[in-house]
Amino acid sequence: MSVGGRFTFIRGSLLWLREIGWFRMSEATNPLDAPDLPLLEGESPDLRQEAIAIFGEAWLTRPNVRLGGAAPLEMIQKERGARVRDLIRTAKYIGVS
């Protein structure tokens, strides 16, 4: 059995065991799916203003590959701004966007 086949088998088995109540899988979520991240020193709580300062206003409405094709403004409005804050920090502190 290939590695992919083993993974599929194990995942299927775990899902079945969860369905019959033998164990519970973690419902933990990705921290980047949160409305925002804790602020670092010098960061603005206004995510839109922070994005405009780094990328310019047009960036907010353009689809972004790192956001799964969604526009940053759309992510902020859907209360998933942590991903946008992560992009801003990457550009601000590392120099990559």
Query: With helix as H, strand as E and coil as C, how does the chain read?
Result: CCHHHHHHHHHHHHHHHHHCCCCCCCCCCCHHHCCCCCCCCCCCCCHHHHHHHHHCHHHHHCCCHHHCCCCHHHHHHCCCHHHHHHHHHHHHHHCCC
Number of domains into which the chain is organized: 1
- Domain of 40 in residue numbering reads as 3-94
**Per residue in 14-55, pLDDT tens?**
677 667 766 665 555 677 778 888 899 989 999 999 999 999
Between 3-7, 42-46, 72-76, 90-94, the lowest mean confidence (pLDDT) is in 3-7
Confidence of residue 73 (pLDDT cuts 50, 70, 90): very high
